[in-house]
Structure 1
Amino acid sequence: MKHLIMLIVFGLSLATHAQSNFNGTRLETYPIQIGWDKTTVLVFPHEVVSADFGSPAVLSEKDKIAPNVLKLKAGVRHFVPTSMYVITAAGKLYPFTVEFTENPDERPIDMGKQEEVEYVTTRLKGTAMNAADVSSVINELTQRTPEKLVWGKRSGRIRLGLGEIVEKDGLLFFQLVVENESWVDYLAQKWQFTVQDKRQAKRTAIRRVELEPISFSPFPGAEGKSKGVIVFAFSRFTIADAKEFAIQVFETNGDRNPMVRLSGKKLLQVNPILISNHN
């Protein structure tokens, strides 16, 4: 397999085609176009550990500096469309259908972002909103300064607060603020969302159910003596008076893990949607 270092040029259709295997399950196959004198670049969320091609006409190289980047080019012109299977270090399989074109799209593709769009689209079935609508609401809430915050308990001079809760077409959007009162930068590793029983008597088990957001905004963290805003979107839900909604963020390589708890009554106090171009 030849190694190539060329200019970045990309061709990928966002449309996906279902392909059935022997047991009836369906894998989504991404159609991709590659060229003769230009390089196509795929960016995966994890390191590429294996790439298999149905034809020697497809040439590839894993980037030496960024092992999650795969570079492709056609070894011959006008080859018969063929298959390509890429496996990452996370154990994820990405199937592609590869075709030749003289003029591939010049944009590289981020497969991680592509998966996020597909995930959101799948979770939005049954609502009037699409992925672009959700992104628009999230972006605007991220840029807003919360007028009032409900703060949770501090953890190592880090505290988590809830700003606005808005509802739109069956979705709830939560605006959260991470405040760093120390000089040590705060980097979030993961977020956890749990519907759980309120604190009860000792020796009584607390039942918990974890919820998964449909989408969320990027969150680089909170530098020393600063605040950071992040917005999460969920399918609309309510909880009983005996339960609470707990939101917790966990620090990367640290133990500053603040939490904020919301009652069922607070979840019902959603604001009317006041997002530009959204009625």
Structure 2
Amino acid sequence: MLRILSDLHIRDAASKIRRLADLEPLLDGVDELWLNGDTCDNQTGLAPADLDEIRAFFIARVPVVRFLTGNHDPDISTVHEASAAEGRLWATHGDVFLDSVVPWSRVRDKIEERVARALQADSALDLTTFEGRIAAMRQACLGFGRECDPERNDPAHRLRRLFTEFFPPRQPLAMLHTWWTFPHRAVTQTRRWRPDARVIVTGHVHFPRVWQRGDYTVINTGAFTGPLGARCVDVFDGHLAVRTITWRRRAWHAGDRVATIALAT
């Protein structure tokens, strides 16, 4: 069985994952694992030994592990996408579908400036292609400092996090707009970049949802942060199942199915 997870945000105080061992039930019986971006935050403060520990944890428990990059772990690997079922299933973190990487963020303008500098530095980068766009965005996110210390969870710092997320009011409005337009953006770009794909698995926007747009299905697996929760995608026997992720018996488990999708043509 192939399982896809995203946005674990390990070692971030906002993540609900307190110990790597709490994830073990999610890895039982999994033959291949795709970690679809933002597995951890190695932009700031994560020592190489910590990153090695995170990688080793998953590799020791699953025969095949793919670490796909996200905006918070832009250099966790050089892999930005994965596909299965003869290309009908395509997974990528999802920020590549957005012009500003994180349009709801207070640092949106700074990231846009970094993307522009990446394009100036390398004239071969082409934002109309997946490869050029993802390369520019990953360069823009390298070493980009966080406004809040990802490891602090004291009351004062939690208040600071809330402030940076909700003020100015443009930010929550931009997040709602992103959720509303995200499936359309994903389908539009997928038609151009990966024309064989019909099921698109993403993370990034932390909004667990399955959207149907014509003969395309867009899946967002949510996140292990915030109140909306996370989901996993399981692929087996020509089908795909979207399942909730629940906390029980002091660990994270795959829960109820919320959707089943055929991958065969």
Bigger proportion of residues as strand: 1
TM-score past 0.5 threshold: no
Q: Which one has more relative contact order, counting CA pairs under 8 Å at least 6 apart?
A: 2
**TM-score (structure 1 length as normaliser):** 0.21
Higher alpha-carbon Rg: 1
TM-score w.r.t. length of structure 2: 0.22
- In terms of fraction of residues, the more helix-rich structure is 2
